[in-house]
Structure 1
Amino acid sequence: MAVIAVRLSLALGACCATSGALAQSGENTPRGTEKSGKGGFSYGGEITGRMNLLAPPKLGEIGPPPMPSPPPGFDGPDIGSRGKPEHDVLKGLKLPHLTPAPRPGAQPTPVTPTLEDPPAPAVAAPIIKQPLHLAATFGDKGAKVPNGVKWRVFTDQPDANGEHLMVAESNDAAPRFDLDPGGYVVHAVYGLVSTARYVSVAPDHPTDTTMSLPAGAIRLAAFVGDARVPPDRVGFTLTRNDAGVTRTVAENVRPGALLRVPAGQYHVVSAYGDANAIVEVDLDVAAGKLVEAQVHHKAARMTLRLVRAAGGAEVKNTSWTVLTPGGDVIRESIGQLPPIVLSEGDYTAIARHDGKMFQQNFSVRAGFDATVELTLN
């Protein structure tokens, strides 16, 4: 390509013939003036400057024309590898992920789970057991119970079977239990007295609980005269009046036994033997007090025998009936009659053997055991 400086005279006419006329006349027309000619009119002027004239390119000079730089802040069009780095406008858009519907009858593509490290388990704070101290008193303001208390600690919430699980127990008067913080049910038993309470074990300090047991105690003994009745021959029954209803508190209590009972009034029945040697007494038991009661029986232990002669051997196959003077039956027996305890008084003994009846009156004196013989003759 060559650059040439030229001065051109241009004439514009209405047709191509005017250009030839102008060349032949050789007249110079002043710039900017209008001149008429054959076939019309023309304008004259002069253009000066540098012009790039196209010439056949030489080998090796072929290349892309220079591109204008875009204004600041404006990314030019994508021109491939010759422009700026690739800019994908779709990357900035949040498009939904569309999964084509499976064809009818096609098996779903299994999803391979992503193998990721499981989250680290949270480290729980260690549970520190706290002490629970228990004690019991005789009533709200009574002295502390020194012994004889059975303690049991249960969960406050039942399990699937509706039962409260026992977590601790002790026979100490003032036990200590180390338990997890939370709620519990404490059950205390003192003889025939029991009570329960909900207790909450604190998480950061010991818990002290004192439970009230309105209880007293009874110890009974039986005498005939000045002699104690052997324990295996006497028994006590305790009853109390509960809102007009007589309820049995304890049965067959042996002499000398310590009976822990709720505070209140009791009716005591002492039975010496299994006949009519009965003594009844009323007792008032206060909380924290021990009542020691002695029951005196006026009775004796009697032995009845049917013999052929005084001092002889006892006749077998004999039935017996013991009556009071008023005809009340005290005791009946088929076969040999064991020794019988009878209250002081008069009685009638009737023996039956081989269809025959034998009868004899006798008396009982308190404290004097005796043998009564009936003879066949």
Structure 2
Amino acid sequence: MRGVVSSLFTLAAAVALFGATAATAQDFVQQGTTIDGLRLPGLSTYAPPSSSAPLAQQGLGEVKLTALMTEDGKEITRGIVWRVFSPQAGEDGKLPLVASAQGGSSTFHLEPGSYLVHASFGRAGATKRITVGANSKTETVVLDAGGMKLDAILAGGMRIPNGKLSFSIYEAETDANGDRALIAPQVKPNTVVRLKSGTYHVVSTYGDVNAVIRSDIIVEAGKLTEATVEHRAAEVTLKLVREKGGEAIADTSWVVLSDAGDIVRESVGAFSSLVLAEGDYAVVAKNRDKIYQRDFTVVAGRNQDVEVLISEAETDPAAD
């Protein structure tokens, strides 16, 4: 290796000594040479780009898209999903998706022309037509949106376990059949749902039987609306026992009836645990072809065990 380095210095000295021109030296290096048996490759040359812009963006227009909750609101810095569509429908009748991005403000490089831009923020969204030209520009989409955060309590301010509470958000207006369009199902308590400003119909469900509260809630643009509803209900555990406080009898079929005689819930097992709205009920238990019945009352916020005693509640199926 020392010999190679020495030869390189000798070559440089020879070029300087004999007054080699810059062009001759360039040709020498580009063509490559051999020194002490070591082949040195030539350097390939290339034409510099005619433009300082990246090759992939030449001929494209630059547009920066930003989103606001309201006309005078602050720029949204995260959570936006951008989709850019061609305004001309394809053969399938749908608008072709040209580009997309997620986050806050986003910059797109597009062919000059007209486009439809859709910005979605949670379940709020807005569409705007833009025109892209040769010069850079910024387009702003106003979502006219706000947020909704929901919670529920029991009578007296008692907390409801999150796992037994959920909300569904519907449009306020009904269709010709009296139905409402579902916007957000199974929303967990204290979750912020982003929505267009307007009125919404909210259904709060405690458990999965009949403890349901309905209310209309208004969402204002640029604001977070927090709403808490009160459930008048309680948790009930049904048991068929031979004596008070005794062991629950397995393989029991349960039917819970409202005070009007309508079936509220059917289940099978030694225990039947459920949440019921306050009111009067009757429970029918069947075990080994024998039927047992008892009336009970649900008081809001007061959880209870309802024991059906065989000795007190037995009825004769043949008598029905």
Report the alpha carbon displacement of residue 164 of structure 1 after superposing the two structures with TM: 4.6
Counterpart check, 1:174 vs 2:108: no
Deviation, structure 1 residue 257: 1.5
Structure number with greater CO (CA < 8 Å, separation at least 6) is: 2
Within a 5 Å distance, the mapping from 1:126-165 to structure 2 comes to 127-140=58-71, 142-157=73-88, 164-165=95-96
The structure whose residues are more often strand, as a share, is 2
Give the CA deviation at 1:192.
Answer: 1.9
Aligned residue in 2 for 1:200: 131
1:149 offset after TM fit, Å? 1.7
Residue from 119, 126, 132 that aligns with 1:188: 119
Q: Distance in 1 between matches of 2:202 and 2:224?
A: 15
Match of 1:88 in 2: none
- The residue aligned with 1:230 is 161
Report the alpha carbon displacement of residue 336 of structure 1 after superposing the two structures with TM. 4.7
Q: Which residue pairs with 2:142 in the alignment?
A: 212
Contact 1:322–1:347 (CA<8 Å) still a contact in 2?
yes
CA contact (8 A) 2:172 2:216 kept: no
> Structure 1 length as normaliser, TM-score?
0.60
User: Do 1:185 and 1:196's aligned partners in 2 also have CA atoms closer than 8 Å?
Assistant: yes
The alignment status of 1:365 with 2:310, answered yes or no, reads: no
Deviates more, 1:357-366 or 1:133-142: 133-142
Q: Which residue of 1 aligns with 2:236?
A: 302
Residues 277-296 of structure 1 correspond to what in structure 2 (within 5 A)? Answer: 277-296=211-230
AA partner of residue 153 (structure 1): V
The Cα shift of 1:151 comes to 0.8
- Asked if 1 retains the 8 angstrom alpha-carbon contact of 2:146 and 2:195, the reply is yes
Between the aligned partners of 2:160 and 2:209, the Cα distance in structure 1 is 15
SS in 1 for 2:222: coil
Give the drift of 1:361.
Answer: 2.3
CA drift of 1:166 comes to 3.6
The aligned amino acid for 1:212 is: V
* Pairing of 1:1-377 with structure 2 (within 5 A): 127-140=58-71, 142-157=73-88, 164-203=95-134, 205-224=135-154, 225-242=156-173, 246-377=180-311
SS in 2 for 1:312: coil
Structure 1 portions without partners, runs of 5+: 1-123
Quote the offset at 1:207 in angstroms: 1.5
Q: CA 1:201/1:344 → structure 2, altered by over 3 Å: closer, same or farther?
A: same
Count of aligned pairs: 253
Report the CA distance between 1:283 and its aligned residue. Answer: 0.8
1:204-224 Cα shifts (integer Å, max 9, x gaps): x21211112122211101212
1:158-206: CA deviation from partner (whole Å, max 9, x where unpaired) = 5666655544322222222233433333221122222323322221x21
Contact 1:269 1:280 in 2 (8 A): yes
Match of 1:40 in 2: none
C-alpha separation in 1, matches of 2:160 and 2:77: 31
TM-score, normalised relative to structure 2: 0.70
Instruction: Measure the CA separation in 1 of the matches of 2:255 and 2:272.
Output: 12
- Asked if structure 2 preserves the Cα contact closer than 8 Å seen for 1:320 and 1:337, the reply is no
Distance 1:376 1:232, change over 3 A: same
1:298 is displaced (CA, Å) by: 1.9
CA contact (8 A) 2:174 2:181 kept: no
Distance 1:276 1:350 in 2: 18
Between the aligned partners of 2:175 and 2:74, the Cα distance in structure 1 is 31
- Structural RMSD (CA): 2.7
Counterpart of 1:346, as a letter, is D
